[in-house]
Structure 1
Amino acid sequence: MNKSQSRGSSRFFDYYDSPLKLVEVPGGKFTAWRLSDTGGWNRADDLINKVLLVGGDEIQEITRDDFVQLTERERAYRLKGTGPVFALYETVQAILDVPDRERRSLTPRERALVGGIRRKTFVMFEEELQRAGDPGADPTLAQG
C-alpha cells in the first residue's frame, strides 16, 4: 500500500467469509481490497456501496484484529507451500487440533498463542506482498 493510502482510515469487513478492507484515499473516498485466492489483494471497488449501504447477513464490519485473524485463517486454509509462514500455519493448525481432538474449547493461553502467531504471519505475508509490488498490502495493520 502506498503512503497516501495508509494514512487514511480503514474499515474492515467479513464479506461472505472473505476479508475485505476499505482504505480511505484522498478526497474522503475509499478503495476496496478483497483477499485473493493467492493470498494477495484484489481491487474490489465494486463492493464499496454494497458493503456500506446495502449490507446483509453475510456482511459484517469487524475490528482490525479480527480482520488480521480472518485473513490469516483464510490464507492458512487456502494456501499450501514451504517456508517460515507455512511452518507457522502448520503450528497454528497443530494447536487448534488439540482441543478439537479433546472436544473442548481453546484455553485462553491457546487462543492468545494462535492470535499472536497469526499477527506475526500476517506481517510476514504482507511484507512479502509489498516486496512483490502488491498495492493492497499493508503489514502495519497487525500493529493496531
Structure 2
Amino acid sequence: MTDYFKYYAQTYRVEDAPDGGQRGYLLNTRTGEFEENNAIIPEVMFARAGDISYIGEAEFIDRTEVERQRYFDGDGPIFALYQTIEGLYDQAESEGRPITPQELALVKALRRRTFAMWDEDFARRDAGEPMQNEYQKRQFGAEASSE
C-alpha cells in the first residue's frame, strides 16, 4: 500500500516494504527525483495539521509536476508538454478568463503523463541508457544573480 503526503512544499510517499516495514520517498527539488528518506516517516504518519497533510494519489501527481515544472528547464518530450500546459494558462490569462474545466482536465492529464515520463527517464538512466530529456535546475533570486 502507498500513502501520499504534502510535506511542507514537497511531495512525499510512504510505501510498504517487502520486509514488512515502510519506505519513504521525498521529492528532491534539486534533481526532480524521489529520494529515500525514512527519517520523516513518523512525523508524516502522525501529523495532525499544519504543513504536513495526507493527499490522494491524483493530487500527489499534480503537486509533484507543478514543482518539477517550476524548478526545472530543459529540452525533450517532458518539457514540450510543460510548454503546452503553460500555453493553456497563458491563453486563458490573455483572454481575461479562468481556465475552463476542459482545459484543467487536459492539464491534469498532461501532468499524469509527465509524471510517468520522469519515472521512465530515470529508469532509462539507471539502466545505463541516455535520458530522453535534458534538464537543469532553474535559478531563482540570489542564485540567478550570482551566476
TM-score norm. by structure 2 comes to: 0.79
Pick aligned residue for 2:10 from 13, 18, 21: 18
**Larger fraction in helix:** 1
The DSSP-based 3-state class of the residue aligned with 2:75 is: coil
CA distance in 2, matches of 1:59, 1:98: 33
Gaps of 5+ in 2: 128-147
Alignment pair present for 1:61 and 2:57: no
Provide the aligned length of Structure 1 versus Structure 2.
126
Offset at 1:60?
1.1
Pick aligned residue for 1:104 from 97, 121, 124: 97
User: Identity of aligned pairs, percent?
Assistant: 33
Q: Kindly provide the amino acid, as one letter, of the partner of residue 27 in structure 2.
A: L
The DSSP-based 3-state class of the residue aligned with 1:81 is: strand
CA distance in 1, matches of 2:9, 2:92: 23
Gaps of 5+ in 1: 1-8, 135-144
CA RMSD of superposed structures (Å): 1.7
Q: Could you tell me which residue of structure 1 aligns to residue 72 of structure 2?
A: 79
Q: Kindly provide the amino acid, as one letter, of the partner of residue 22 in structure 1.
A: V
Pick aligned residue for 1:88 from 64, 77, 81: 81
Q: 1:58 to 1:101 in 2, by over 3 A?
A: farther
TM-score norm. by structure 1 comes to: 0.80
